Amino acid sequence: MVDITMNGEDITVEDGKTVLHAARDNDIYIPTLCNHSELSPYGGCRLCLVKIEGFRNYVPACTTPVSDGMVISTSEEGLNDLRKGILELILSEHPSSCIVCDERDECLELHGESTKAGRITGCRFCPNRRSCDLFDVVEKIEFNDFRIPVEYKELPLHRADPFVQRDMSICILCGRCVRVCEEIRGVGAIATVHRSHDTTIGTAFDQPLTDSGCVFCGACLDVCPTGAISSKTTRWAGVPDETVTSNCGMCSNGCRAVMQFKWGKFTNVEPVQDGDNWGQVCLRGRFASVTTVNSPMRLEYPKVRTGDIQQPVNWEKALDAVVEGLKAYSPDEIGVVASPFMTSEDAFLLQKVFRSIGCENIATASKMIGPLQMAWRGQVDRITSIGTRDDIDDADAILIVGSDLSLDNPVLQTRVHKAAEKGARTFIVTEHPHNAYRGADVLEEPCPTGLMEDVIAALDSAGSCEGCSGDGDHEGGWAGTIAHTLMAAERPVIMLGQEPFAVEEDGVAVSSLILKLFKAVSGKALLILWDGPNVQGLMGSACVPGIGLDGELLKEAGPNKPPLGDGIKALLLTEPVSDIPDGVEFVAYMGPYPFDGIERADVILPTCTYADSVGTIVAMDRLVGSIETRARPPTMAKRDFQVLMDLGGRLGAEGLSNIEDPYDISTSTFVDYHIGKHIKEMDVSADCGPVDPSSPVNPAGKWISGPLRYRGLDITEASEDLGAVVRKWGWTE
């Protein structure tokens, strides 16, 4: 701690902080446009100049660290005039009519919505007009007049890129967008280009963002103080009626975000700045989720098959048809498929309803659970990640198998980048290397089984390499290099993605090898990048064959069959499947979207997405989050919870009388086992090997899953821009 004096006040601040941070911590205002709390000091705008005794000139507060005895003045005579002069130069190339307009407040009040124009020439056309950092500075330093001519740049408007629009004519060259792309995301897709009056923010050779390595995360939008970079999908959505902080339901990272709603419609996603996702979201969560939720392909009406036609009916008739269809079969002839996109409460209710009528044929539509259960013998009841996402930050070696992170879990890449910047060597083994993290050694491997076997074989020689730091290359090619690096590391982290599980046998083999490798190198964390946002929550909700709510194996369970296996004659699907077996005679489908094969459904029950639901989800590292909403479901669609409650009542399920909403489940014993008993780390001292045949496991199944799917829907069909991006990346399902 150091003692300083600021504006005549004695202050004690933490050593190493800048003058700007010290001022903010003590509610002393210093204007700035280039500084951002998540970025390194830059000193570009020069608005934060202060006077420090002993210094010949004014110094920027954002780049000057405090020292003991420092005497600082942030508002001495003439300093504010200097700031006004600097700001005037910044504004000389910016549309500034709104900056000095006496009627600005009245204009904002009377013109509540943005005027729909592409070019930004004033406040009425600006997407940032209600949250303009530039205008905030103008008000604080009382700037109200121009003394020099304003020269408008008239740079070309960039509208061809997916998701974002760039109007560099209003850019003030603060550099925030460039720095967040480089420092936080580790991408470096944009930079400061050209010189002098022609200086602007752009890409190399003025190429489209799709050719610059951009991952379309939207981080540049969040830090831009003027609206020079804005979202095409939500630019004209208007001022939201309601906002709510919720977890994103698109992938297993479970990012906290601010969801915005207008007239009951889901309109925008922005990251929570202080969440576990470091104020970041991703391409799917920010942009594709809005178009997916609002897709015109949403199912709107219950339907019941009459002959060859699925006819719209009311909910009473649809539910009665489901009950009539299911009661025609014995419980062991009924199969139930739980969607990994459901909330934990909905999944809990699903298994409760069907187990109450004696049906044990319940499985989760995840390609990963079954192979992991078969590979990690002794851990069938507790397939979880080891460690947490925070362990990535301090890792000194990282191995990512079966994912390039660009679509599976892109926000984790920000943590990988942080570790790499501190010296962690990173290896990515993937069949999609086209957009993998640039700071990693990337190996293209459609199936990594052979490579993992070679790595394990090389561990003996790596362990005998005294004094090895793990740096550089080693004998045995990549396998030897990976083995030496992991053995030499003190805090190695391994991540397992979705790619190896496309084929069940490959998934079992890779899973077994990964756990063996993790144990051999005394790993710090082993993270499973699940193929759904709530796979971990569904396992805790007893939607995996043979596992009860206490997390223990149900070895005395009743007859159990895979929901898509032999002997199943009736199906209740909450997630589409690619091929419904011919022996199935009755199909009821609960979901928000149609799918290939929906013509087989005898009853269709339209349900909600995560953006119009409420409940709990569990991220890939067991972090429990909540889904909140203010969206209005389309037409006659209902939440999964309400449909299951109505269905359970008709089927005679017990224990539903005291449940009125999802939180009646999550505030009871549900949370105790969900967070406490079941969801805890695996015991890595347990032996690995083939699973006991008497212990039922989740079938690999013909599930329609992957990073480009949401409850069976190909989200590139809902978002043309997303389709353009993934095609450019070379992604295929």
Of the candidates 501, 581, 528, 535, the residue with the CA atom closest to the CA atom of residue 339: 535
- Residues 538 and 614 placed together within one structural domain of the fold: yes
Cα dihedral 654, 660, 664, 665 sign: positive
Residue 302's H or E segment, with its range, is none
Are 494 and 547 contained in the same domain?
no
Q: How confident is the model at residue 253 (pLDDT cuts 50, 70, 90)?
A: very high
The one-letter code for the residue type at 60 is P
Residue 18 inside a domain? The answer is yes
Q: Does residue 561 sit within a domain?
A: yes
Give the closest residue to 546 by CA, choosing from 679, 693, 416. 693
- String of DSSP letters for 602-668: SEEEEB--GGG--EEEE-TTS-EEEE---PPPSTT-B-HHHHHHHHHHHHT-SS-TT-SSTHHHHTT
Report the CATH number at residue 312: 3.40.50.740
Tell me if the pTM is above 0.85: yes
pLDDT surpasses 80 at 693: no
The two tokens of residue 521 are 């190198």
Do 68 and 47 fall into the same domain? yes
The secondary structure of 155-175 as a DSSP string is PPEE--SSSEEEEGGG-----
Q: The domain that contains 171 carries what CATH number?
A: 3.30.70.20
Task: Report the percent of the chain where pLDDT is more than 90.
Answer: 56
Domain total for the chain?
A: 4
Predicted pLDDT at 129: 66
- Is position 696 within any domain? no
Higher pLDDT pick, 152 / 524: 524
Q: Which helix (H) or strand (E) holds 76?
A: none
Domain contains 452:
yes
* pLDDT tens, residue by residue, 324-364: 999 999 999 999 999 999 998 899 899 989 988 999 899 99
354 residue type, one letter: F
Question: What's the CA gap between 360 and 379, in Å, rounded?
Answer: 20
User: For position 713, what pLDDT does the model report?
Assistant: 94
What is the reported pLDDT for 692?
62
| Cα→Cα distances 443→479, 482, 488, 514, 577, Å | 11, 11, 21, 16, 32
Least confident of 259-263, 552-556, 562-566, 582-586: 552-556
Nearest to 369 by CA among 508, 565, 270: 508
Specify whether 394 is located in the same domain as 449: yes
What DSSP designation does 240 have? -
Average pLDDT of 458-480?
A: 76
Final residue of a structural domain among 677, 702, 723: 677
Asked if residue 516 and residue 546 are part of one domain, the reply reads no
Cα separation, 242 vs 260, whole angstroms? 6
Beta strands in 448-546, from DSSP E residues, in sequence order: 492-496, 525-528
Please state whether beta strands 256-262 and 242-247 pair in parallel, antiparallel, or not at all (unpaired).
Answer: antiparallel
Report the pLDDT averaged over residues 41-56: 91
Cα–Cα distances in Å, from 467 out to 427, 463, 464? 22, 10, 9
- Phi, psi (rounded to 5 degrees) for 496: -120, 120
Torsion of CA 186, 435, 427, 423, to 10 degrees: -10
Q: If 0-12 CB within 10 Å is exposed, 13-18 middle and 19+ buried, where does residue 724 land?
A: middle
Domain boundary among 195, 214, 231: 231
Name the E strands within 272-408: 303-306, 309-312, 334-338, 362-364, 397-401
Distance of CA 490 to the CA centre of its chain: 29
Q: Residue 551: inside a domain, yes or no? A: yes
Residue 8 sits in a domain whose CATH number is 3.10.20.740
Cβ neighbours of 248 (radius 10 Å): 27
Which pLDDT score, from 0 to 100, does residue 555 have? 47
Task: Compute the distance between CA of residue 67 and CA of residue 51 in angstroms, rounded to an integer.
Answer: 14
The Cα-based distances of 414 to 217, 411, 489, 508 in angstroms read 11, 6, 21, 29
User: Which of 344, 356, 310 is CA-nearest to residue 606?
Assistant: 310
**Are 557 and 663 in the same domain?**
yes
In a 13 Å sphere around the CA of 237, the CA atoms on its Cβ side amount to 25
Both 522 and 592 in one domain: the answer is no
Residues in Cβ contact with 283 at an 8 Å cutoff, skipping those fewer than 6 apart: 163, 215, 216, 217, 218, 407, 410, 722, 725
What does the alpha-carbon distance between residue 663 and residue 562 come to, in Å, rounded to a whole number? Answer: 30
d(CA 281, CA 296): 25
Residue 283 one-letter amino acid: L
Q: For residues 607 and 633, state if they share a domain.
A: yes
DSSP element (H, E) containing 463: helix 459-463
- Average of per-residue pLDDT across 538-563: 69
Residue 456 sits in the same domain as residue 502 = yes
Residue 166 lies in a domain: yes
Mean pLDDT for the stretch of residues 511-522 = 93
Q: Supply the range of the domain harboring residue 522.
A: 390-529
Is there a single domain that holds both residue 509 and residue 544?
no
Residue 359's SS3 state is coil
Reference 729, options 295, 160, 283; nearest CA is 283
Alpha carbons 619 and 669: distance in angstroms, whole number: 20
| Digit-coded pLDDT (tens) for 79-138 | 988 998 998 888 887 776 667 777 667 776 666 665 556 677 666 677 776 678 888 888
Q: Express each pLDDT in 482-498 by its tens digit.
A: 999 999 999 999 999 99
**Strands 303-306 and 309-312, sheet pairing:** antiparallel
Distance CA 503, CA 498 (A): 10
State the Cα–Cα distance between residues 227 and 127, nearest whole angstrom: 6
Please report, as a single letter, which amino acid is at residue 309: I
User: What is the domain-level CATH number for residue 436?
Assistant: 3.40.228.10
pLDDT on residue 145: 76
- Residue 570, pLDDT above cutoff 70: yes
Task: In whole angstroms, give the CA distance from residue 492 to residue 47.
Answer: 43
pLDDT band at 184 (very low <50, low <70, confident <90, very high): very high
Give dist(CA 24, CA 557) in Å, integer. 61
